[in-house]
Structure formats: C-alpha cells, structure tokens
Structure 1
Amino acid sequence: MSEKTRRARALSAGAGVAIAALALAGCTTTSTPDSGSSEGGTITIATTNAFTSFNGDTPEANLDTNGMVGYLTGVSGGLGLGGFQRLDKDFSVLNNTDFGTYETVSEDPLTVKYTINEGLTWSDGEPINADDMLVNWAINSGYFDDAELDPATGEVTNGGTQYFSLAGSTAGLDTTAFPEIGDDNMSMTLVYSQPFVDYELVNPIGKPAHVLAEKAGVSEEEFVELLKTLPEGNPAAPVPANETLKAAADFWNTGYDVTAMPTDESLLVASGPFIVTDFVPEQSITLGKNENYKGEMSPAYDQLIIRFIGDANAQVTALQNGEVQAIQPQPSADTLTALENANATVHAGNQLAYDHVDLTFGGVFADANVREAFLKTIPRQQILESIVTPVNPDAEVLNSQIFLPTDGDQYTTAVAASGYDQFTEPDIEGARALLNGATPTVRILYNTNNPNRVDSFRAIQQSAQQAGFTIEDAGSPDWSSLLGSGSYDASIFGWVSPGAGNAALPQIFKSGGGGNYNNYSNSTVDTLVDESQVTVDADALADIKVQIDTATAQDFYGLPLFQSPGLFADNGSIQGVDYFGGQTGIVWNAQEWTLAG
C-alpha cells in the first residue's frame, strides 16, 4: 500500500497494501555498462523511496524499497527469489524448485511438508536447513508469545511477552502444532488444526537461524534446542520472558534497521541470487551476485544499483541522461509527457494499491458523528481528477477498503453493500449539521515529500474548514515512522498488495493488527477476520470480505480514495523490464534482465 510493503502474505504500506513514501532525491555514483556486451556490467535503476532496513517485515520498516531488497536477497520472510515461491506476472505462484519443494501431505488435518534441496548455503557459506525453517516458523506463528493484547491499542495487558513484532499477522501459522523436523534436518512438516486459506503462500525461510542465534549469544544448535524444549506460550498463565529468545527477537525487531552501510556483515547474509554490497543513505543501495547461490536465477549482469530519487521529473532526467537505465516514478500526466519527450519505453498498468484516509479511533474521532462529519467533507472526486484522471481518464473514485475495480463483480457487490459511494462528493451542510456548532481540531499526517499526498491534504483541509473543522498540518517526511504514534488524528497514505493471499485482513482490520495504525476495534469484524483465514470456499470468503467492508463503512473507519496507477520506464539499454502491479514493483523479474548488447 512508495508504498509501504510487508511479507508476501501482508500488505506493504507499504497488503495487503504498500505505503508509498517518497525519498529525498540524491546523487550517487553512476556506472556505465560494458559497451556492446550482454554479459556482466551494471544496471542502475531509480525508485521513489529510500531504503531503511534489512528487515522489512516489522511495522516500522514495512516499506516497499525495503521489501524489494528483501525479495532479491531472499530474506524477506515472504515470497521471493531465495525461498520456496515467488509470483509470476499474473500473480500466480511459481515454485522455486531449485531451492526446495513443498507438498500437501494431508487435507484433514491440513498437513504440509517443506523440503530444502541438499547442498544449499547462505551467502556466508553456512548451510541452509530445517533450523532456518524452524526459527522462521517461530517468528511468524507467535507460538511462544504469552501476551494478552488490548484489543484497541495492541498493548500488552497481562505482563506477558510478545517476542517478534510483525507488520503482518500470525494468522494461520498460529494454528499449527510444533513442527516435525526430518531426521536429516532438511525437512519440516506443519500440521494445522484448522484449514488455512493462504497455506500455499507460506514460505518458511527468512532470516538465518545462525545469525539470530549469534545475536542471542548462543550457538545455532543451542538456539534450536531451546525452541524444541521451550513450552508454548499461554496468555492465561504468562511467565517471565526467556532471555535468549527475547534477545534474538529484539535484534530481529530493530537490529536490521540501518542508517549507514553496516560493518556487521551478518546483516547482509542472503539466500537469493543477490547480496547487498554497498549502501549510501538517502542515495542508493547496491546489490551484487551471491556467489554461493546455486539456483537458476543468478543474473547475467554483475550488479544492480537502486537509486532513491523522490522527484518523478528528476527520475526522468536521470533516465534521459543515462545515469539510470530504468525507473519507477510516481505516475502523472507530466511524467508521461516527459517520458514521451525522452523517447523512453513506458510500461504502465494498475497497481494492486490504493490511497486512503484513515481516522484514528479515540481523541477527536471517538465520537461517530464527528467521524461521519469529517468523511462528508473529503472531496474524493476532486482528488481523483487532480491526481489520477490525467494518467488514467477511466479511473473512478474507489469505494471499497478491500476490493479494487479490477476485481469486477466482487467490487460491484461490495460497493452496493457498503455504501462508500455515498461519500463521492462533499456534503458540507450535512457535516455542519452533525457537528452542531462544534469546531473540532483534526491533525492530519501525510508524506510532505509526496506531491500527490500534499495535494490530497490541501484539498481536504480546504473542504473540511468550510464545515467548521480546524485542520492542523501534521505532515512529515518521516510520516511512516509516525504511523500509530498517537501524534495525529487522520492519515493519508497508501497500501500496496503483494498480489496474492488474504493476510491484509488481520493485518489492517483486526484489533491490534500489525498494520492497524488507527486502533480500529470491532468485535464482529475480529470474528469475521478470523473466519476469513480458515475459509477456503471462494464464494464464502468473498462474502466475508464484503461484510468486513460494510462494517468499516458503518463505523466511519475512513475513506478509500483511488486505485493507484503504476508506471515503469526504461531507455532501451536493458532488456526484460515488464510491468508488474504488486509489491515488488519493477524488480519483480530483475534476475531476468540483460544489458542490450
């Protein structure tokens, strides 16, 4: 929902949605590919957002650029190039059989076995085996957690421990028993106590077990033995946190966040075909070939430089000047015109992403009448026409928090049920009537480096003031780190989906969810979200989603604004760039690119 992005099973806000944050434009060293050669050399591209963390699976680091790097290096905890699966252009699942295989052993109970191929190693030469799968299962299942969380705030209320802070959700894996590990330590079998709608998207490979063990002060063998002997967490009877597991979790939660190229090379350990070799904050990150990678996706070129250029015009200029060979700018009519003038090859389409306004439950918006009044002031049609229509004349105001117009009949059904379409144009008089003379102050958070978000804020500010609201500008270039901080009342940002799965539902809409930054809590929705994760019938699942969508509208949760257009472009010096509307953006097939010889 740049957009912020999370595991393949989550939205990136960054899942079901990625959040788009514009990075500061900066200069970096540029490289010129070997003339006339299609082998070796360097490819340089530009994206909007800056890189901030080698672990994009936490709520604070759930940004699309972090997810791109995790995807290429194979340590994102989601679908990628260094685990069991990735997504094709049409969002179908591609199995990475050069890494391993997985099979459904039984459907009742649901039992899935993962087997890693023999002889694979991490980039530092350490073997990849079931230890790594077990550790990542522990991270993503919440098996050892014994914390009870406040349904509204997500805060621990019983003195227990929540070890790993996930941007996504433990839904699905939290129903699995402790895994069965194969005698050769190369396989892991998961047994679910309930059906799990997204079980085929579970990739039990993320951060290396030996690195987390080292950060916890123990050997890999000792760390794995701890997991095998530590009791399952019980929120009804919390116990003091295990110091070793807590140390590993604390490092996983924050230790991968960086503001400079790390001197600790263990942060760079990769399983995929790429490995990070350099990082210049606010400017660029460089990936080279992982020499220990044994799969079929090693690139033909030597290194990939990703530059962070927040300004779309600056991206086009860099492309035209040959400083970069491909770009993923924020789409606009001006950008398209500039690309046409630059004779660039344009790859455009819809993103599985949407911009939205969320209201924080509590404070000024504790009163449903005030929430409804504020939503009545949002000029959604005006925002659409200023931002999206120039790029996509057929675009319409978005009227669902879950479905997109490209979902066809499901979207139409959801709109008819929810009533979000009643908020297309402002109703200032209706808002004034609900306020009944009150003049509430609303602080709005948005990305001040993103022209589209600035335009949305100004349009909302101007309209809401007419109804009696006092609007305070809480915009910040560091907006993503402020989400959920309580320093604002409404937020404008975007979610981008990985393109498959249903993990966005617990991530965003469940009480205490990893992406539930506005403290939304509805017990009926919580029940529906839980049902969505165990419902495998497509029609029944769609109906549950419609019910969740309708409930958010009735609660005046906020308003969806528009489905985001997507845009890539290249200057003809590389081959293989192809449009993809999911979280990983332009780098989704970077392993297949070649330099034009």
Structure 2
Amino acid sequence: MKLRHLLTGAAIAALIATTGGAPAFAERGADGQVNLLYWQAVSIMTPYLSNGTKDLQAASLVIEPLARYNEKGDLEPFLVEDIPTVENGGVSKDLLTITWKLKEGLLWSDGTPVTADDAVFTWQYCTHPDGGCAQISNFSDVTNVEAVDPRTIRITFGVPKPFPYGPLVGGQAPLIQKAQFADCLGPKAPECTKANTYPIGTGPFRVVDFKANDVVTLEANPNYRDPSKPAFATAVIKGGGDPASAARSVLETGEYDFAWNTQVEPEILAQMAAAGKGQILSAFGTLLERLQVNQTDPDPALGAERSTVAHPHPFLTDERVVKALSLAIDREILVETGYGEAGRATCNFIPAPDLNVSPNNDWCLKQDMEGAKKLLDEAGWTEGSDGVREKDGRKLSILYQTSTNSVRQAAQALIKQWWNEIGVEVELRNIDGSVFFGSDPGSPDTLQKFFADVEMYANEFDGTDPEKYLGEWTCGEIPGPDTQWQGGNTSRWCNADFDAALAELAKTAGLDGRAKVIIKANDLIVNSPAVIPLVHRGRLSAAVNSLAGVKMNAWDSELWNAADWYRAK
C-alpha cells in the first residue's frame, strides 16, 4: 500500500478512518484500557500555560470548552444546550453580547455543580493583568463575562463582534473550576502544580497519576454527563520516543491503540502501514510548518534581557535578509522528502480554508539562489574569504533550532546547505519535543524563550476562522519575563498596521468581507521579517484496527470525541 493512496482525497476528510459512528454503550468502562502514545510527552494539563499541541490535546480529555469544532470544522455544543446566533437570540443584534446556556445538571469530576461563575472565573484567570496566559487571544475585545444565573453566561465585547466564538470555545479555551484555581491568579498560576496537572474537569476522563514528560494515567470520569460513556475505564498517555517508533507501535506491533503526530518520511510510513495492524489517519486543516525569525537579540551576553524587545536583532529585522533566506529554500524538495501527499508547499501563514488563502505570495514557491544572493548584496553583506558573508565586522551567522524529529532534522540539513550556498553560516540545534513545546518558564529551551535566531515548528488554530490565531501576532502577545514567557508572538514582531488590521477584522461581518481582511493581515505577516512559511501540513496520526469511533479532526483537538471511542468486537 502506497502512502499517496492513504493521503489523497477531500481536504478535511480522514482518508482511512476507523469505524464510523459511536455505538450506544451498555456500560461505562466496559472496554478496559486505551493506550495513547504522544512521543512529545505531556508537560502540563492546561492549555492556558502552554502553547504545546501535545499538552492541549491531553488536557482536552479532562477540561472542556462550552462548544468545540467537529471534524468538518462546524461548531458543536458540548457543555451548552445550543450554539448562540443572532437568529436564535443568543447573539445580540448589535453583536456586542453572546449568551450561552449550560446544560442542566452538569457536574465537575469531583461531583460539584458546574455554574456560570466558573466561566466568569476562567475569563478572569486568563486575562489577569499580572499573569501570563498562553491563550489570551481567545478573549480579545471581551469587556465583561457575567453569570446571569447559575446556568446562563453572558459575554460582552467592547466592539461589535461578527464572530463571537472566541471566549470559552474550542480546545484552546476550556472551562476551569473556580474552586480549584481560585488561588492561582496572575503570577501564582505557574506555581499551582496540583491544579495544573490534576485539573478537575467535565470531560470523559480525570487524571489519577501525572508524571511530567513521561506518562499520564487517567480513569473514566464518574460524573460524566453521559452515564454510558466513556467505553474505556482507563486511558494512558505515554510520552517519549520519536515519530517513527510511535507509528511503528501502532501500525506494525499494535502495542498502542493511538499514536499522535506520526511525522515520518512517507515511504517509511507506507511500509509500516503495509503490516496491516493499524490505519493511518489524515486530515488537512490549518497546520503550518514554518520558520519563526527572532526579531530580538538572543545573545547570551545580554543576560536577563536576552531575546526581549529591549534589544532588536542585529540583522534579522532587515526584510531583505529574511527574504533572501526564504528564496534560498526549495519547498518542493522539503515536501517530497518529508511529507509526500501529506504536505503542500506554501508561502502563506493562513493556509486554509481556501476563501482565506492569499493569492499574493507565490514568489517563494520557486527556489531562487541568484535572487537571494542579490538581496544580501543589496543589504551590504559581502562574502569573506571563508565564504561567509560579513558586514561591519559581523558574520552572517545563524543559530537554527527545532524539536528532535527525523523529518525536521532532515529539513534542517537541507536548509543549512541552501543557506551555506548563499554565504550564511548556520549552527543547528535540536531539542527534545517535550521540552521545546513545554511550558516551564525556567527552561532556556522552550520555543517561547526563543534563545536562537531561527526556530522551526508547526501549529494551527481551532475552527476555520483565524481571528484568535492572528491575534497572537499583536504587539501585546510578545513573550517576556513579565508574562512568564507566555504569549503567541514568539518572533517578537510588533507592527501597528497589523494591529489595526486585526481590530478591523474584529468588526468585519460576512465570510467574504472577513476573508479580505484576513488576507491583508496574512500578507503583512509573510512580507515581514518575522516568519518564513514552509509547508502546509496534513495532520497524521495512527490508530490500531480495533479502536473504533475515532473521527480525525484537524480543526480542534484530535481527542475531541474520545468519549465516543470504543473497542471494536
């Protein structure tokens, strides 16, 4: 079986999916244990203190939003009765408020009632002025969250909000329990280890044992709202290894039921799938592999001000230099060698859905070495006797970091070779994924700290509307010591025109109107020196043949419907 046969088809559909709809389970926990392998081990069980996808997905088994996106990108109610709209009266005609109604009888896993006060607190927690919340862009323009009554939540915006589904929607913005996190506001948030690793939730499972960067053991939530679910009594999320060993443990040995992010060279993945024990799951959403370009100076000599806005980068703020680096890359070779049909070369930051994709940036799709050299010449960088370009006594030297992963290391090697050819000296560094995508504010190796010149990784956003995602690129989202290094703007790029475009998007109604503003914001990002888009990636995971009910989802957590998973008989 060839990988291209597994990975073609409709952009959103999972091509080889496990058994369809979930059955009516006779008994909660009847199917024993489900084993999940996340080779980037889980570091924390809350998305509010981590940008790592592996942490977000693990947390989604326990803590849930009011509504989330299904495998088609449509909103579905989870903790609420329905999705508020202008038509049903849940969104005010002036677009300034949205009102959610919690389902009756909802309980936290500790047996206490879920109330609107928990929603109010979650907003206060993430927007605390002295704290650092990784998902604060989900609460953009919110001026108030109030408990109208124990089951009714009213969210008020400071501007008309044509798309009001940011706060408490999607896997990145779940509800947390006020009683558990009450003493964890602001700078105390990272110190609440018990709450951050054993959160009390409403999801199908609850944590019973947590070993950071190793293994998470969960059991069925006895107070889950559907008394027959989940089918599994326990779930184990094991960390460690690499994408190849994770894929092999499902596709060849069947040792694990589910393996996340099987980012393996396409020919190797195809060979594993031929063993017949498991199936590859694939779906294209908005996942973008890219290079983040540090706009601040990571020089260790700067001490506590390293990689902060106090010190601009000595040469990567020059658009000519960064465009030269981009032109030197052959994206089609990156796709061919690392992704196959699960990748598409792109120059855009927003790669999907089609309506929001800019037509203005195809200049990077064809490698242009001579064009790259000319730009560096124009920027004043001349080639020295050793072949490395110099300017004002400084070498054009870059520290390029990413997570440990064979596909990424292969891409690093190719990009280093291409950059060497245009006179750029490159030092490569790779970091264990559990650390790189971790949340420890004391670690020097997280992607948020960005103690390098360039770093490569991929992420995406919930749903099909990118307003929250773009919001991570505002000036206020720059990580630093004052935010415990939280914030989505890892490149430390600040642009008034972009902030204005985002404010315009917040007020723009209609898909076509929003698309125009989204494209404007996208173009500002990709024509800045802050990012180099590489590959629009499909999500790739694997499930053993006996695991049924899985619906691959590129628009939310891949574990979004784990309550419906069961063991096929």
Q: Fold conserved (TM > 0.5)?
A: yes
Question: Is 1:105–1:111's contact at 8 Å kept on the other side of the alignment?
Answer: yes
Q: Which moved more, 1:489-498 or 1:289-298?
A: 289-298
Aligned mate of 1:368, from 311, 316, 319 = 319
1:489 aligns with 2:453: yes
SS at match of 1:323: coil
Shift of 1:366: 2.9
1:44 aligns with 2:23: no
- Structure 1 residues 458 and 109: CA distance shift in structure 2, 3 A: closer
SS at match of 2:238: strand
Alignment partner, residue 136 of structure 1: 122
Shift of 1:186: 3.1
Alignment partner, residue 591 of structure 1: 563
RMSD of aligned C-alpha atoms? 2.8
Question: Is 2:199–2:207's contact at 8 Å kept on the other side of the alignment?
Answer: yes
Alignment partner, residue 481 of structure 2: none
Aligned length: 483
1:55 aligns with 2:20: no
Structure 1 segments unaligned to the other structure (5+ residues):
1-36, 75-81, 146-161, 217-246, 257-261
Shift of 1:309: 4.2
SS at match of 2:198: helix
Question: Is 2:110–2:200's contact at 8 Å kept on the other side of the alignment?
Answer: yes
Question: Is 1:498–1:582's contact at 8 Å kept on the other side of the alignment?
Answer: yes
Q: Distance in 2 between matches of 1:304 and 1:420?
A: 47
Question: Is 2:95–2:161's contact at 8 Å kept on the other side of the alignment?
Answer: no
| Structure 2 letter corresponding to 1:212 | F
- Structure 1 residues 340 and 188: CA distance shift in structure 2, 3 A: same
Q: Deviations over 1:169-224 (max 9, x none)?
A: 34655342x34433x433232232322243134328522111122xx3xxxxxxxx
Shift of 1:289: 1.0
Q: How does 1:473-552 map to 2 (within 5 A)?
A: 473-477=428-432, 478-480=435-437, 481-485=445-449, 487-501=451-465, 502-513=467-478, 514-552=487-525
SS at match of 1:195: coil
Q: Distance in 2 between matches of 1:282 and 1:436?
A: 43
Aligned mate of 1:203, from 157, 160, 168 = 168
Q: Distance in 1 between matches of 2:277 and 2:181?
A: 48
Question: Is 1:85–1:201's contact at 8 Å kept on the other side of the alignment?
Answer: no
Alignment partner, residue 251 of structure 1: 188
Shift of 1:327: 2.2
- Structure 1 residues 324 and 175: CA distance shift in structure 2, 3 A: closer
Aligned mate of 1:458, from 410, 413, 418 = 413
Aligned mate of 2:377, from 427, 433, 441 = 433
Q: Distance in 2 between matches of 1:308 and 1:426?
A: 41
TM-score (normalised: structure 2): 0.78
| Structure 2 letter corresponding to 1:168 | Q
Q: Which moved more, 1:460-469 or 1:576-585?
A: 576-585
Question: Is 2:75–2:83's contact at 8 Å kept on the other side of the alignment?
Answer: no
| Structure 1 letter corresponding to 2:122 | N
Q: Distance in 1 between matches of 2:83 and 2:535?
A: 39
Question: Is 2:232–2:566's contact at 8 Å kept on the other side of the alignment?
Answer: yes
Alignment partner, residue 223 of structure 1: none
Alignment partner, residue 402 of structure 2: 446
Alignment partner, residue 286 of structure 2: 352
Structure 1 runs of 4+ off > 6 angstroms?
A: 98-101
SS at match of 1:53: coil
SS at match of 2:499: helix
| Structure 2 letter corresponding to 1:467 | I
Q: Distance in 2 between matches of 1:283 and 1:180?
A: 39
Q: Deviations over 1:410-451 (max 9, x none)?
A: 42xx13x2354365444453255234312411111211x211
Aligned mate of 2:201, from 265, 270, 280 = 270
- Structure 1 residues 200 and 295: CA distance shift in structure 2, 3 A: farther
Alignment partner, residue 181 of structure 1: 147
Q: Distance in 2 between matches of 1:506 and 1:199?
A: 14
Q: Distance in 1 between matches of 2:132 and 2:225?
A: 32
| Structure 2 letter corresponding to 1:301 | F
Shift of 1:400: 0.6
| Structure 2 letter corresponding to 1:408 | D
| Structure 1 letter corresponding to 2:436 | W
Q: Deviations over 1:107-166 (max 9, x none)?
A: 2152222233443332223322122111112234x3xx6xxxxxxxxxxxxxxxx33322
SS at match of 2:59: helix
Question: Is 1:46–1:306's contact at 8 Å kept on the other side of the alignment?
Answer: yes
Q: Percent identity?
A: 18
Shift of 1:466: 1.8
- Structure 1 residues 575 and 109: CA distance shift in structure 2, 3 A: closer
Question: Is 1:511–1:522's contact at 8 Å kept on the other side of the alignment?
Answer: no
Q: How does 1:385-464 map to 2 (within 5 A)?
A: 385-389=336-340, 391-392=341-342, 395-404=343-352, 407-408=353-354, 410-411=356-357, 414-415=358-359, 417-421=360-364, 424-427=367-370, 428-434=372-378, 435-437=380-382, 438=390, 439-447=395-403, 449-464=404-419
Alignment partner, residue 72 of structure 1: 61
Q: How does 1:576-587 map to 2 (within 5 A)?
A: 576-585=549-558, 587=559
Question: Is 2:217–2:235's contact at 8 Å kept on the other side of the alignment?
Answer: yes
Alignment partner, residue 74 of structure 2: 92
| Structure 2 letter corresponding to 1:453 | R
Alignment partner, residue 33 of structure 1: none
SS at match of 1:275: strand
Question: Is 1:376–1:430's contact at 8 Å kept on the other side of the alignment?
Answer: no
| Structure 1 letter corresponding to 2:469 | A
Question: Is 1:398–1:563's contact at 8 Å kept on the other side of the alignment?
Answer: yes
SS at match of 2:351: coil
Shift of 1:42: 0.9
Shift of 1:97: 5.7
Q: Which moved more, 1:91-100 or 1:514-523?
A: 91-100
| Structure 1 letter corresponding to 2:235 | L
Q: Distance in 2 between matches of 1:364 and 1:409?
A: 35
Question: Is 1:511–1:526's contact at 8 Å kept on the other side of the alignment?
Answer: no
Question: Is 1:443–1:471's contact at 8 Å kept on the other side of the alignment?
Answer: yes
Q: Distance in 1 between matches of 2:228 and 2:72?
A: 19
Q: Distance in 1 between matches of 2:365 and 2:476?
A: 26
- Structure 1 residues 254 and 445: CA distance shift in structure 2, 3 A: farther
Shift of 1:41: 0.8
Q: Distance in 2 between matches of 1:118 and 1:488?
A: 50
SS at match of 2:523: helix
Shift of 1:358: 1.8
Question: Is 1:351–1:582's contact at 8 Å kept on the other side of the alignment?
Answer: yes
1:127 aligns with 2:113: yes
Question: Is 1:377–1:467's contact at 8 Å kept on the other side of the alignment?
Answer: yes
- Structure 1 residues 39 and 552: CA distance shift in structure 2, 3 A: same
- Structure 1 residues 493 and 297: CA distance shift in structure 2, 3 A: farther
- Structure 1 residues 105 and 382: CA distance shift in structure 2, 3 A: closer
Q: Distance in 1 between matches of 2:322 and 2:476?
A: 19
| Structure 2 letter corresponding to 1:356 | R
Q: Deviations over 1:537-582 (max 9, x none)?
A: 2222111121122222332333211111332333322222232223
Question: Is 1:83–1:271's contact at 8 Å kept on the other side of the alignment?
Answer: no
- Structure 1 residues 292 and 486: CA distance shift in structure 2, 3 A: closer
- Structure 1 residues 197 and 491: CA distance shift in structure 2, 3 A: farther
Question: Is 2:96–2:156's contact at 8 Å kept on the other side of the alignment?
Answer: yes
Q: Distance in 2 between matches of 1:279 and 1:456?
A: 34
Q: Distance in 1 between matches of 2:142 and 2:565?
A: 40
Q: How does 1:111-122 map to 2 (within 5 A)?
A: 111-122=97-108
Q: Distance in 2 between matches of 1:202 and 1:590?
A: 23
| Structure 2 letter corresponding to 1:476 | I
Alignment partner, residue 309 of structure 2: none
| Structure 2 letter corresponding to 1:192 | F
Q: Distance in 1 between matches of 2:235 and 2:70?
A: 21
TM-score (normalised: structure 1): 0.74
Alignment partner, residue 215 of structure 2: 284
